[in-house]
Amino acid sequence: MPDPVEVKLFFNFRSPYCYLASKKLWPIVDDYDVRLLWRPVGGWHLRSSPDRAKSKMPLARQDVARFARRMGIPVNPPPVTTDPTRAGAGSLLAEREGLLRPYIVEVMRAEWAHGRDIGDTEVLLEVGERIGLAREALAAAIRDDALLAQLERNAAEAAELSVIGVPTFVIDEEIFWGQDRIDFVLDALRERRAARL
């Protein structure tokens, strides 16, 4: 039996496009023999610079609203000061505990459907409790220097691969940037005959 196809996913919890992806990326792991290599980043990594974001935000919000209407999901943006770094660190604990999928879905729901600040420790702890992560473990993880350093290493890896935004999926040498490229990721997996039997 062939080895699973490795799919790297670069993800920043502050990105509205990652919110859209969190609703539609799961066939990649449900329908195909894939090993998801989770690569969260924090802060401004793989996002527009603060100056660029000011002018880009109105356009991006219109764009995201159109996709959200088509998908039938709510959009209620979080405070502009929201920092995704702690959420990224917490996701590494969730991955280790086998709870990455519900963590991604619920953090993004809290942030982008309910407009909550996921930089707020209490918001993340509420999400963690809801999905079965121990409160104390998550509280430690979001401040863990080793996990925060992993976010920086992920950003450095993205730069080495010429990844310029999120969400980005990488399969071998192919880079698929954007939540609207997920169909192409699925095509690539079909071409590799990776469908689950």
Which are the catalytic amino acids?
15
Q: At what angle do helices 16-24 and 100-108 cross, to 10 degrees?
A: 130
SS (H, E, C) 39-63: EEECCCCCCCCHHHHHHHHHHHHHH
CB 85 within 8 A of CB 119: yes
What tokens were used for 193? 């005959």
- DSSP-based three-state secondary structure for 113: helix
Task: For residue 109, count other CB atoms closer than 10 A to its CB.
Answer: 18
Q: What is the dihedral of CA 179, 182, 188, 192, to 10 degrees?
A: 120
